[in-house]
Chains A and B, each alone.
Chain A
Amino acid sequence: MESLDPRVNRMKIGGFDGELHKEAMDQLGTYEVFLIPKDGKPLESVGPVHASDAEMAFVFAKEAFSRRFECVAMAVCPTASIFPSPVSEADISAYDLVTIPAETEGENRQYEVFHMNKRGKFHKHVGSVEAIGDIDALYKGKDEYGVDKPKNVWVVPTGDFHFNAEEDSDLWATLPEKKYRDAIFYKAGEKIQRYKESVNS
């Protein structure tokens, strides 16, 4: 294949013959990503990544979600670690849709609680609770934070998060050297002016 792209020619990328199928499960597991955009703001969900393990998920998450905008801390957890409540709407609290009884035995451990306040919005961290299981954590969350009437709740065992150590926070201080990724870096106006002057002169 003769290409305009010198790389395609160099790599001798061939034609398109026959079928090429991915094997079943030729993909990585999913992790949900959370970040704090600015000091003083809560941790908020930003979306998922596919990765082989938590550390890789963190690396991908850093590329995908903190590459362009401000970020001061980031955490990832396996999607499977998140226990979601049902989704409610309008004035109904998602907590009120949880009807199954809580676990009766288990070790107490810490959970982080996230609320989605309106459908279509991202989940935000509201605090943590001690609970003996996922459902128990939802009930504990209701006692503690139920007044917010969230439309969806996620509870996640605190120990399932992978996050950056405090002393590594300069990881995020890369924005000032990458101004060329900001829209305001570009001032086409001066060039347009220059063109117009050249026509008039």
Chain B
Amino acid sequence: MYGGGNVFEPMKVKELIDEDPVLLKEFEARIDRGEKIEPTDWMPELYRKQLIRMIEQHAHSEIIGALPEGTWITRAPGFKRKMALMAKVQDEVGHAQLLYSAAETLGKPREKMIDDLINGKSKYSNIFNYPAFTWADSCFISWLVDAGAIVNQLANAKGSYGPYVRALDRICKEESFHLKYGHDCVATLAAGSKQQREWMQDAINRWWAPMMMFFGPSDKISVHSEVLIKWKVKMASNDAMREQYLDMYVPKILELGFTIPDPNLRRNEEEGKWEITEPDWDEFKRVINGDGPCNKERLAVRRVAEERGRWVREAINRKSENYIVPLA
């Protein structure tokens, strides 16, 4: 998952034809009955690996996502905003903790996930690799990036994997504060001075294109993605999530008197969907693969945390105690 959207790249796993047919049938029947899968259940390798990748990328996105907003904590306008932004950023880091634990139940240790992140081997949401120039950028993130994440998280919360569903249950409850806080921040600028309105409009102009990419490219229906829909790993297509986002938030942005920097944006009432300028998918790929405006800085910050925190981990860790995978 790249933030909101899913890019289901092919991966090397056991072909379904090589899985035990009896177990596979039971597994699918369980999902068809609407039951959740728990960590000790048998599951096909494709299900396990795809979920690890998805949940891990979601976790990384929460941790990295805290960085551009975190930039503005020290310079937030006023004590209340500072406290609220600090609480929001803390929530996001907490979400990462919950998600890493959920991914761990599938068999990938946390140390390995962090290792892959700091060495640039894991992907995470495109959008957090763009810079937050002004306070208004951080307001855009709190309201409109979180809104995108929520569209995605609410869909995934109906998925089939128990530990992920339980983590998302808590995460979604916490997100409602982020959304309201973010909306309040943007509305404050909207109702403010000419300068404040300009700041907010500039932020919208900067973030709109990456936001449209956030949900990922149109899904190509491959054999794998069909099976992942059937198994309730993939809960909504990237296009469906983007549509839902536009339905919900375009009117709210316009209501505040801001414009959206896409001359082609319009709702096609006959077809019942939005028309937008096709996002620059080459840019999306570059950013996802590590070459966006801030990728290097984001990873450098995580690496510094890793290096400078080592002595603390060494001081408190008891390696004699065997690591045990969390239960649920």
Residues of A within 8 A of B (CB): 1, 3-8, 11, 13-16, 19-22, 24-30, 32, 45-50, 52-53, 56, 63-64, 67-69, 78-80, 82, 84, 86-87, 89-90, 119-123, 152, 154, 178, 180-188, 191-192, 194-195, 198-199
Q: Is the CB of B180 within 8 A of A183?
A: yes
Measured between beta carbons, the chain A residues less than 8 angstroms from B188 are: 191
Q: Is the CB of A180 within 8 A of B190?
A: no
Q: Is the CB of A25 within 8 A of B111?
A: yes
Measured between beta carbons, the chain B residues less than 8 angstroms from A27 are: 109-111, 313, 317, 323
The 9 closest A-B pairs by CB, nearest first: A120-B36, A48-B326, A191-B187, A52-B316, A186-B184, A186-B180, A119-B36, A188-B187, A183-B180
Contact digits for B12-33, partner A, Cβ 8 Å, 1 yes 0 no = 0000000000000000001001
Measured between beta carbons, the chain B residues less than 8 angstroms from A49 are: 97, 101
Give Cα A28–Cα B36 distance, bound, in whole angstroms: 28
Q: Is the CB of B257 within 8 A of A199?
A: yes
Q: Is the CB of B101 within 8 A of A47?
A: yes
- Chain A residue with Cβ nearest B197: A195
- Chain B residue with Cβ nearest A25: B319
Distance in Å: Cβ of A105 to nearest Cβ of chain B: 26
Give Cα A184–Cα B183 distance, bound, in whole angstroms: 12
Distance in Å: Cβ of A65 to nearest Cβ of chain B: 8
Q: Is the CB of A8 within 8 A of B38?
A: no
Give Cα A47–Cα B229 distance, bound, in whole angstroms: 27
Would A22 and B94 be within 8 Å (CB), given that A29-B318, A56-B316 are in contact? no
Measured between beta carbons, the chain A residues less than 8 angstroms from B165 are: 120
Measured between beta carbons, the chain B residues less than 8 angstroms from A120 are: 35-36, 38, 162, 165-166
23 CB < 8 A contacts A-B: A5-B67, A22-B112, A25-B319, A26-B111, A27-B323, A48-B328, A49-B101, A64-B97, A68-B177, A79-B327, A80-B322, A119-B35, A120-B38, A122-B328, A180-B83, A183-B180, A186-B184, A187-B184, A188-B184, A188-B187, A191-B191, A192-B190, A195-B256
Instruction: Give which listed residue, A6, A22, A26, A181, contacts B177 with CB less than 8 A.
Output: A181
Q: Is the CB of A24 within 8 A of B111?
A: yes
Q: Is the CB of A22 within 8 A of B111?
A: yes
B222 adjacent to chain A (CB < 8 Å)? no
Give Cα A29–Cα B67 distance, bound, in whole angstroms: 27
Distance in Å: Cβ of A43 to nearest Cβ of chain B: 15
- Chain A residue with Cβ nearest B161: A120
Distance in Å: Cβ of A181 to nearest Cβ of chain B: 5
Contact digits for B81-101, partner A, Cβ 8 Å, 1 yes 0 no = 001100100110010011001
Measured between beta carbons, the chain B residues less than 8 angstroms from A53 are: 316, 318
With A22-B112, A47-B166, A48-B327 given, can you name 18 additional A-B contacts, CB distance below 8 Å?
A8-B300, A13-B297, A16-B120, A22-B115, A28-B313, A28-B316, A32-B327, A47-B326, A48-B101, A52-B316, A52-B318, A67-B90, A86-B40, A122-B166, A181-B87, A184-B180, A187-B184, A188-B180
How many Cβ-Cβ contacts under 8 Å join chain A to chain B?
197
Measured between beta carbons, the chain B residues less than 8 angstroms from A181 are: 84, 87, 177
- Chain B residue with Cβ nearest A89: B35
Would A64 and B94 be within 8 Å (CB), given that A82-B327, A122-B166 are in contact? yes
Q: Is the CB of A8 within 8 A of B301?
A: yes
B304 adjacent to chain A (CB < 8 Å)? yes
Instruction: Give which listed residue, B115, B256, B297, contacts A21 with CB less than 8 A.
Output: B115
Measured between beta carbons, the chain A residues less than 8 angstroms from B101 are: 30, 47-50
Distance in Å: Cβ of B218 to nearest Cβ of chain A: 31
Instruction: Give which listed residue, B36, B67, B190, B324, contacts A191 with CB less than 8 A.
Output: B190
Q: Is the CB of B323 within 8 A of A16?
A: no
- Chain A residue with Cβ nearest B314: A26
- Chain B residue with Cβ nearest A84: B327
- Chain B residue with Cβ nearest A6: B74
Q: Is the CB of B297 within 8 A of A1?
A: yes
Instruction: Give which listed residue, A21, A84, A192, contacts B255 with CB less than 8 A.
Output: A192
Q: Quick check: which of B57-65, B167-175, B263-271 contacts chain A, the rest being far away?
A: B167-175
Measured between beta carbons, the chain A residues less than 8 angstroms from B179 are: 183
Q: Is the CB of A4 within 8 A of B131?
A: yes
Would A192 and B191 be within 8 Å (CB), given that A21-B115, A25-B323 are in contact? yes
Give Cα A191–Cα B304 distance, bound, in whole angstroms: 41
Measured between beta carbons, the chain B residues less than 8 angstroms from A13 are: 297, 300-301, 304
Q: Is the CB of B166 within 8 A of A192?
A: no
Instruction: Give which listed residue, B133, B177, B191, B321, contacts A4 with CB less than 8 A.
Output: B133
Give Cα A31–Cα B299 distance, bound, in whole angstroms: 29
B48 adjacent to chain A (CB < 8 Å)? no
Q: Is the CB of A22 within 8 A of B301?
A: no
Distance in Å: Cβ of A162 to nearest Cβ of chain B: 15
B71 adjacent to chain A (CB < 8 Å)? yes
Distance in Å: Cβ of B184 to nearest Cβ of chain A: 4
